[in-house]
Amino acid sequence: MKKVTERLKRHAEHGKRWVIAVPTLWLMLFFALPFLIVLKIAFAESAIAIPPYTQLLTMADDAFDLHVYFGNFIFLTEDALYLTAYLNSLKMAAISTFLCLLIGYPMAYHIARAKPSTQTVLLLLILLPSWTSFLIRIYAWIGILKSNGILNNTLMWLGVVDQPLAILNTNVAVYIGIVYAYLPFMILPLYANLVKHDHSLIEASQDLGARWLQSFWRITFPLSRNGIIAGCMLVFIPVVGEYVIPELLGGTNSIVIGKVLWQEFFNNRDWPLASSLALIMLLLLMLPIHFFRKYQEKEWEEGK
Amino acid sequence: MIEPSLSRDGVDGHFLQIRSIVKTYDDVVAVNDVSLDIAKGDIFALLGASGSGKSTLLRMLAGFETPNSGKIILDGEDIVSLAPYRRPINMMFQSYALFPHMTVEQNIAYGLKQDRMPKAMIADKVVQMLRLVHMEKYAKRKPEQLSGGQRQRVALARSLAKSPKLLLLDEPMGALDKKLRNRMQLEVVDIIESVGVTCVMVTHDQEEAMTMANRIAIMEEGSIVQSGTPRDIYEAPNSLQAAEFIGSMNLFRGAITVDAQDHAVIDSDEINNQLYVSYGVTTAIEDKHVVFAVRPEKTLISRDQPQGEYNWCRGVVHDIAYLGGHSVYHIRLNNGKILYSFMVNSDRFADQPTWEEQVYVYWSDDSGLVLRP
């Protein structure tokens, strides 16, 4: 009996490690392993085979033969298409992050200032749309934005325009779609930050002679910096690789990295080139991801 | 007799005049028809329990709340309609509300920058304020790197930097531990007096109010119960509420039997002997019910029966609380009533009455007070 309890105790101490083991295993299985596969393919040559690339390691004449190919990366620099795609993606991500911040900040601010009971309702309204399928919501925008869609019909009925506006299949439609889809990711971290602010700081600022706008710029805004960074990164990082929205709402001439990746992978069946494209994108995002992590940690510590 | 000057200090010589202020939230009356006059240079304490309306009154002075009716006249100007940022009033917040992303210097300079004061002048003023609160060494620190007492000094410096006409203190010692509190109370008063600013503070701590303020108003349920100097309020409370709020009191309910010009005699069921006060009470004929009150430190304990027929009673020692400087004796009378009496421990090991010993409690004729129930 004593032995059993001792054993259980030892297990309890091991328990801590087991708790960490689960997410570690998860990350290994669904992040590290796929990443290694992509890494492997990026350094292979395209081939007409199943799978459609050469092996890194081959056995020939009882000896291992390591075959590393850098051609994909060189090719990426030779064709201007890829550079354009990267730059377009970064620009698209930057502009939509800025738009999300512009629209999301006032929303987050007012939710954080509302009565606690109202706050719950407003947050629910922010989250509610994401309960329906992402794809369906983006499709719905086609119905709204097309030439005989809801928006154009309304504008023409009101007499604002004579001709339907060509919004669908332009960059404007892409921005509308992205801002719509990613706005909650901006609002939630901003709200989480703003709701913690001590209102007496604003009163102190007013007491010392500052009007509302001055108090906002000199007190509220600087104190919400960590929330702004978190929100911006949560929007920026996924938007760089966004494929669905530019594909559905954008024109054929909108070249972004997500679409190019798709084309290389499925249309050209050039898996190695697609993998190296993805790898470079990841490298580009390392910097903002690093930033995000740093400020997230700060936010955590301050929240303690 | 010299008439009070009719200069800047308003018509009747008061610097800050609060006139019939009423503030209600929905159906709840937070401040009910409060009028107060505060002289220039006063340190005025609003003393009350939480929910008494003292904080609401302070916030109306700062401009964070608007009264439903009434006037607040500061230095001859009605400020009720002025926004907080336009009022020549600064406040030290209970939590200090220091801006966490700014250094001590920047915190103090904040209000001066709002006034668009030239940079060189701001720098001079900040140095002057830092010296005033003895914080020169900490100019570049952030608030989180300071101790509680240091934060308070910075908050005080920030609220004095703009040389306000009126300084407001919201529970100034609320965030400090007891030992630091006693030291800071005197230090804050020194600083305020050296600047000479008129000050209104809010506190629930009577000791703090009496230490720091030269005038006190007791608030209860949105109304002023009594205002006056700390001594007035302690020694001559004008009502049962005021008497019970500050310090402790022995109370006897009774009725007036003799009411002369220079004395009054009260009969009470709660004590064997009659009670005597050496001043006339001028009772209304229809209501002779009063409460006789005497403070514990004004009563004496003896083993021998006192002379005379008034103001003494017999009991046994029920409990003794030894507090070092003095002891609080709980004396149980025959009818079960407990009286409190302080005994100063002037001798280190004196022969004092002990538990269950029979003793007499007595007090002089001018110690007692007659209050309306």
Q: State mean pLDDT over A191-210.
A: 95
Q: What is the ipTM of this complex?
A: 0.84
Helical (H) or strand (E) element with B18: strand B16-25
Interface test with A, best of B56, B91, B160 (most A CBs within 10 A): B91
pLDDT at A68 (0 to 100): 84
Q: Tell me the per-residue pLDDT of B326-364, one tens digit each, with 9 for 90 and over.
A: 999 999 998 889 999 999 988 888 888 889 999 999 999
Write the CATH number for B95. 3.40.50.300
- Indicate the pLDDT class of residue A284, thresholds 50, 70 and 90: confident
State whether A204 and B83 contact (CB < 8 Å): no
Q: Tell me the per-residue pLDDT of A113-168, one tens digit each, with 9 for 90 and over.
A: 999 999 999 999 999 998 999 999 999 999 999 989 999 999 999 988 888 889 99
A203 touches chain B (CB under 8 A): yes
Q: Which among A207, A209, A211 has CB closest to B91?
A: A207
A11 touches chain B (CB under 8 A): no
Per the CB < 8 A criterion, the answer to whether B84 and A203 are in contact is: yes
Q: Is the dihedral of CA A256, A258, A260, A262 positive or negative?
A: negative
pLDDT at B10 (0 to 100): 41
pLDDT at B289 (0 to 100): 85
Q: In this structure, are B24 and B143 located in the same domain?
A: yes
Paired tokens of A20? 């960490």
pLDDT at B43 (0 to 100): 96
B90 touches chain A (CB under 8 A): yes
Task: Provide the 3-class DSSP secondary structure of residue B302.
Answer: strand
Q: In this structure, are B142 and B277 located in the same domain?
A: no
Cα B264–chain centre separation: 30
Residue B117 belongs to what domain range?
A: 16-242
- H-assigned helices in chain B: 54-62, 104-114, 119-132, 148-160, 178-195, 206-212, 230-235, 240-245
Per the CB < 8 A criterion, the answer to whether A277 and A240 are in contact is: no
State whether B93 and A208 contact (CB < 8 Å): no
Q: In this structure, are B152 and B287 located in the same domain?
A: no
User: Mind spelling out the 3-state secondary structure of chain A?
Assistant: CHHHHHHHHHHHHHHHHHHHHHHHHHHHHHHHHHHHHHHHHHCCCECCCCCCECCCEEEECCEEEECCCCHHHHHHHHCHHHHHHHHHHHHHHHHHHHHHHHHHHHHHHHHHHCCHHHHHHHHHHHHHHHHCCHHHHHHHHHHHHCCCCHHHHHHHHHCCCCCCCCCCCCHHHHHHHHHHHHHHHHHHHHHHHHCCCCHHHHHHHHHCCCCHHHHHHHHHHHHCHHHHHHHHHHHHHHHHCCCHHHHHHCCCCCCCHHHHHHHHHHHCCCHHHHHHHHHHHHHHHHHHHHHHHHHHHHHHHHHC
The one-letter amino acid at A115: K
Which stretches of chain B score pLDDT less than 70?
1-13, 283-286
pLDDT at B13 (0 to 100): 63
pLDDT at B8 (0 to 100): 41
* Residue reference for tokens 């703003």: A194
Q: In this structure, are B142 and B222 located in the same domain?
A: yes
pLDDT higher at B198 or A287: B198
Number of domains in chain B: 2
Q: Which among A200, A218, A223 has CB closest to B97?
A: A200
Q: In this structure, are B111 and B220 located in the same domain?
A: yes
State whether B158 and A200 contact (CB < 8 Å): no
In a domain, B7, yes or no: no
State whether A203 and B62 contact (CB < 8 Å): yes
Q: Tell me the per-residue pLDDT of A16-38, one tens digit each, with 9 for 90 and over.
A: 778 888 888 998 999 899 999 99
pLDDT at B285 (0 to 100): 62
Please say if the pLDDT value at position A210 is more than 70: yes
Write the CATH number for B336. 2.40.50.140
Q: Tell me the per-residue pLDDT of A63-76, one tens digit each, with 9 for 90 and over.
A: 887 888 888 889 88
A200 touches chain B (CB under 8 A): yes
Q: In this structure, are B234 and B360 located in the same domain?
A: no
State whether A198 and B97 contact (CB < 8 Å): yes
Q: Which among A200, A201, A207 has CB closest to B84?
A: A207
Burial class (CB in 10 A: 0-12, 13-18, 19+), B104: buried
Interface test with A, best of B85, B125, B159 (most A CBs within 10 A): B85
pLDDT at B110 (0 to 100): 97
Q: CA B317 to CA B123: how far, in whole Å?
A: 65
Cα B344–chain centre separation: 25
Between A225-240 and A271-303, two packed helices, what is the crossing angle to 10 degrees?
Answer: 170
Domain end call among B223, B242, B261: B242
B158 touches chain A (CB under 8 A): yes
pLDDT at A299 (0 to 100): 67
Percent of the residues in chain A that have a pLDDT greater than 90, as a whole number = 61
Query: Chain A contacts of B101, Cβ < 8 Å?
Result: 222-223
Task: Provide the 3-class DSSP secondary structure of residue B175.
Answer: coil
Per the CB < 8 A criterion, the answer to whether A65 and A57 are in contact is: yes
Q: State mean pLDDT over A275-300.
A: 84
pLDDT at A206 (0 to 100): 96
pLDDT at B163 (0 to 100): 95
In a domain, B2, yes or no: no
- CATH number for the domain whose boundaries are A71-303: 1.10.3720.10
In a domain, B3, yes or no: no
Domain end call among B205, B226, B242: B242
